[in-house]
Amino acid sequence: MAIVQSLPTTEGDRRKLALDSPVDRHRIGELEVTTPAEVEAAVARARAAQPGWAARSIAERAAIVGAAIDVIVRRRAEIAETVRLETGKPEAEAIGVEIVPACDFLNYWTARAPRELRSHRQKLHGYLKPMKKLYMQYQPLGVIGVVTPWNAPFVLSLNPVVQALVAGNTVLFKPSEVTPRSGEWVARVLHEAGVPADVVQVLHGDGETGAALVDAEIDKVCFTGSVGTGRKIAAACAARLLPYSLELGGKDAMIVCADADLEKAAAGAVYLSMFNTGQVCMSVERVYVVDSVADEFIRLVKEKAAEVTYGPGDTDMGPFFWDRQRDIVIRHLEDARAQGAEIVVGGEVGDGDGLYFQPTVILGAHHDMQVMTEETFGPITAVMRVRDEDEAIRLANDCKYGLSGSVFTKDADKARRIAAQLITGSVVHNDGAVIYGVPEAPFGGRKDSGVGQVNGPGALRSFTHAQPVLIDRWQPKRESIWYPYSEKTIQNLDGLIKYGFGNKFVRRLLS
């Protein structure tokens, strides 16, 4: 992402940030920071616009939002160029990581919204069935605040914003201050598609702007970012009983079983730890390989990692998007070296002014090293030999994070058995980070990796209040349990317990 620096201002002036390219550090723009007062005004506009947006039918909202696909298709080169300007990503990643899944998410959510959000009758169980009818209807929450990260600034902004919009909410979102124009494209394509200006608004700035949004009179917070910021948001929301979802950091483990296709496993270990310069919350950050196949696996990993090209131009791997992220990676590598790890590929800063770093492979890693316990977020394949799959499972679970994980084996049933033992939000067989791009799959972390889930069957409904409406079927003058109590009341209740729940056959009928 762009390197951010505060620009000097005089008293009373709006704060500004300078944005420099991670490719060569040249100035690529400036950003005016949205003030807390402007955040408050934007929330007021969103609040005023929300009833009118919610009054449209679900199908109408979905059609308007879905028209953004055509806008993205038409303007894909401009969007990709903005992403590349701010991040330095290779063109393949700007298109494949950002634009392809953005189109897919739009297509998926807008097609399913009318079915997922429609009011419907819910079947009742047991003794209430003859007397009542239950209906479910889904009310928009109101105004949603979305705070998004820098590593995939277009798609990670678009996905929650689209879900919230088709559910009938208005949205204010703040992209990271270091990829502001990439995130801003989300509002631009939606406005061009026909979403009213006050229904989706973009706010620019740093942590001050994000805090102002979280503290504003909104109805839900959807955050993707660091654990530290996530904890602050959780505390702020808890004080107001405000719903929130947090998609935080990861330290994803990859288990290489003895029966794995080693060629594919080695290619996966390198790619899944290095694409997007390793700056993916579902990156493979720890590799546990069964000892019986470790020598051949390591040979292949070294070979494939050495072939990864990096640097400016038409290469496989771009720079770090953020200068401070490179500092973290260097610190983790120095710690690993000091504790005896062997760096067999890479491990050094690239030449020139850009934030480039060599594709890196570490052997002899263990759990006293930061590179195996803290989120590194860089292009490092850290490999640890294990005795067997049971030890791999134990070590994979020995982590404060639990976002996702990978199991490489030719046996799909074994992959499922291992997955059932991993304390992590999701598991992928013979692949990795693709799980976020599967909208049918609930995505979210356990432990320090977050709270709540995006995607999956409940995603759209998580931006609504599921309101049950219980209808009186026969409308009698009074209900049997109402005042005044009598001996007959007690007999009826006792009979229900004795002859209903006390009889196994009747109990099954009541279930």
Q: Which fold has domain 252-439?
A: Aldehyde Dehydrogenase; Chain A, domain 2 (3.40.309)
Total residues found in the chain within this entry: 511
When pLDDT is cut at 50, 70 and 90, the band that residue 294 belongs to is very high
Hey, which residues are catalytic here?
247, 281
**Cβ–Cβ < 8 Å for 479, 489:** no
Structure tokens at 421: 């033992």
Q: CA-CA-CA-CA torsion for 52, 55, 59, 61, nearest 10 degrees?
A: 20
| Nearest Cα residue to 160 out of 496, 475, 439 | 439
Q: Per mean pLDDT, which range of 98-112, 115-129, 180-194, 252-266 is the poorest?
A: 115-129
**Cβ–Cβ < 8 Å for 236, 212:** no
Domain with CATH 3.40.605.10 in the chain: 4-249+456-465
Judge whether residue 43 has pLDDT over 60.
Answer: yes
When pLDDT is cut at 50, 70 and 90, the band that residue 66 belongs to is very high
- Per the DSSP assignment, residues forming a β-bridge with 244 are 221
Dihedral-angle region of residue 295 (phi above 0 means left; psi in -120 to 50 means alpha; beta otherwise): alpha
Mean pLDDT of the 82-103 span:
97
In angstroms, the CA 16 to CA 262 distance is: 51
Planar angle of CA 245, 251, 255, nearest 5 degrees: 125
Dihedral-angle region of residue 274 (phi above 0 means left; psi in -120 to 50 means alpha; beta otherwise): alpha
Domain with CATH 3.40.309.10 in the chain: 252-439
Planar angle of CA 454, 286, 283, nearest 5 degrees: 35
Predicted TM-score of the model (pTM): 0.96
| Nearest Cα residue to 394 out of 415, 426, 418, 411 | 418
In angstroms, the CA 316 to CA 305 distance is: 11
- The CATH code belonging to domain 4-249+456-465 is 3.40.605.10
Q: Per mean pLDDT, which range of 137-141, 153-157, 231-235, 453-457 is the poorest?
A: 453-457
First to last CA, the chain: 55
In angstroms, the CA 492 to CA 476 distance is: 17
Planar angle of CA 69, 176, 432, nearest 5 degrees: 65
- The pLDDT tens digits for 216-267 are 999 999 999 999 999 999 999 999 999 999 999 999 999 999 999 999 999 9
Sheet of 170-174: strand order equals 200-202, 170-174, 143-147, 220-224, 244-247, 450-451
